[in-house]
Structure 1
Amino acid sequence: MSAARPRLLYVTDLAYPARGRRYCDEDIGLTARLRDSFDLALCHPRDAAALMTGFDAVVVRNSGPVLHHREAYEEFRERAAALGTRVYNPPHGRGDMAGKQYLLDLTAEGRPVIPTVDRPEDLPLLPAAELYAVKPKAGADSIGLRFVPYAELAELAGLAADGGLLVQPRVDFAYEVSFYFVDDDLQYALYAPDPGRRWVLEPYEPTPADLDFARGFIDWNTLDHGIQRVDACRTRGGALLLVELEDLNPYLSLDRVPDEVRERFAARLTRSLHAFLEA
């Protein structure tokens, strides 16, 4: 790290048309706060590999689904590894940054996750449901998601051939809830009381059991530094099931929290980045 103020390259796609979210507003606000402690420049994910030299770290934030710029992302990771450039979040996460394999691994471990399979011979292991969610293992942001009855599952192209699709029962849930962490510290939680409006979020006060649930996945992921979002659904029976462990570029919905929570988050992120650079 340089002797002067740390220099950060902040990767974001300000123009990405995310449904129900405004990447540009969130990252403009957060970078304005981070500039109190860092020299900072923003760039598009396609430019990160070419621009990363001269910075103490690269912070990957609202960069959009990797599948839209897969080659640029792989070039970025390879170049960062070759140059020894620090990347935040660190690229060894076991959640979404490594694909959806973790849903299969967690299912096999018996963790509280929506049951997930990727082979026709494992379909009988899924609980009965009226419909089943089918999505690409390399997908994101609900791209390619569809719901089909059980009778159509084995006929889907790609499932039998190479395990390129994931299958889950469609869960009848009361609401979705997200837990937002910096390092291993919970910052806040939000939930969507209307299951049909995923990004219309309200503050949520987690119970001790909720915290144990979320922290279990943070501990499983073994990231010492970084921003993580644990997404879950509350079943009609009251249980929480993991939907997604987002550890690459989780949208933070900072516009949905009070000013003091937003400030606390920015301060905690600043401390995390300093500790990451000094490690």
Structure 2
Amino acid sequence: MPIRVLFVTDLTYQARGRRYCDEDIHLSDALREHFTVSLCHPLDAASLMADADVVVVRNSGPVVHYEADYRRFRDEALSTGVKVFTELSGKGDQVGKGYLVELSAAGYPVIPTVDDAADIDRLPDAGTYVVKPRNGADSIGLRTVGRDDLPGTDLAGMLVQPRVAFEHEVSFYFVDRSFQYALFAPDPDVRWGLEPYEPTPADLAFAQRFVDWNDVDHGIQRVDACRTSDGDLLLVELEDLNPYLSLDLVDADRRAAFVAATADSIGRLAAR
């Protein structure tokens, strides 16, 4: 009997600079060569997932828009043993951006991050600072403040980072723990103006370090980084919930390889 995949996507979500729906239409169609695939809206996932062998969460939009429903889906999947791709064991954006505070304190190459007013002095001096929600996405709720304004800023549920000047942003895309491709935005002001990027061995070692830190054996992860003027990479986020893949920007061979790796991982997860 073919493996039954419930493909969770919001085809109506309007993302800035990207067409979420196109990517999921094409990816779900490609996966039909391997599985029986049904699409559903994220608000319906909890009620439909019992009939699936694997629930594949894709471009389902920021969960900040439906937090209670997402928590219900997550809690029920974990309690009943429903297999979810990407696995719900992830320590990245799946559980909010608090991992940036943890990794920063542990000395990982991330943008310095704190979440407590008492720790602001741990941040380097900068002209402006970014204050963003711990559970935010797509820059929702993000604002910038000056150093003098930080002591009076309410940081409940928020993170603080120095605003870092960088040369470009680069994203590394993984299936399970295996690198697939990379894309970069050469213009710092156009985040989604992406182009193919050939990473150096040092770049790959940087990205692999975060993927290996995360507790995901089956799933898709995107490591987003910025390159500073010194040439170093700093982690911006580890997206392990529903990363947009920009599959339309990679060549046909890499796209086919990505689909094959994804199908193989879903199949192994279903058989586990």
**Structure 1 residue ranges (4+ consecutive) displaced by more than 4 angstroms after TM superposition:** none
Q: Could you say what secondary structure the match of 1:52 adopts?
A: helix
Q: Distance in 2 between matches of 1:89 and 1:39?
A: 18
Counterparts of 1:114-153 in structure 2, within 5 Å, are 114-153=111-150
Contact 2:5/2:54 (8 A) holds in 1:
yes
Aligned residues with identical type, % of pairs: 59
Structure 2 match to 1:226: 219
Q: What's the Cα RMSD here?
A: 0.8
**2:76 aligned with 1:84, yes or no?**
no
Matched AA of 1:128: D
Equivalent residue of 2:51, what SS? coil
Corresponding residue number in structure 1 for 2:38: 41
Kindly provide the CA deviation profile for residues 55-86 of structure 1, in whole angstroms up to 9, marking residues without a partner as x. Answer: 11111000001110111111111222233211
CA shift, 1:190, in A, is 0.2
Correspondences of 1:154-169 after superposition (within 5 Å): 154-157=151-154, 159=155, 162=156, 164-169=157-162
Counterpart residue number, 2:233: 240
How far does residue 92 in structure 1 lie from its aligned partner after superposition?
Answer: 1.2
1:90 aligned partner, one-letter code: E
Shift of the alpha carbon at 1:132?
A: 0.4
Tell me which of 181, 199, 211 is aligned to 1:206. Answer: 199
- What amino acid does structure 1 have at the position aligned with 2:79? A
Q: Unpaired segments of 5 or more residues in structure 2?
A: none
For 1:191 and 1:221, the matched residues in 2 are separated by 22
Aligned pair 1:249/2:242, yes or no?
Answer: yes
* Equivalences for residues 35-114 of structure 1 within 5 A: 35-114=32-111
Partner Cα distance (1:205, 1:147) in 2: 32
TM-score normalized with structure 2 length: 0.98
CA distance in 1, matches of 2:189, 2:224: 15
After superposition, residues 21-40 of structure 1 pair within 5 angstroms as 21-40=18-37
**Shift, 1:201, TM fit:** 0.3
Q: TM-score, normalised by structure 1?
A: 0.96
**CA distance in structure 2 between the aligned counterparts of 1:169 and 1:82, rounded to whole angstroms:** 39
The alignment of Structure 1 onto Structure 2 pairs a total of residues equal to 272
Distance 1:85 1:118 in 2: 33
Query: Does 2:260 match 1:270?
Result: no
Please report how far the alpha carbon of residue 222 of structure 1 lies from its aligned counterpart in structure 2 after TM superposition. 2.4
Q: Work out the CA distance in 1 between the residues paired with 2:132 and 2:256.
A: 37
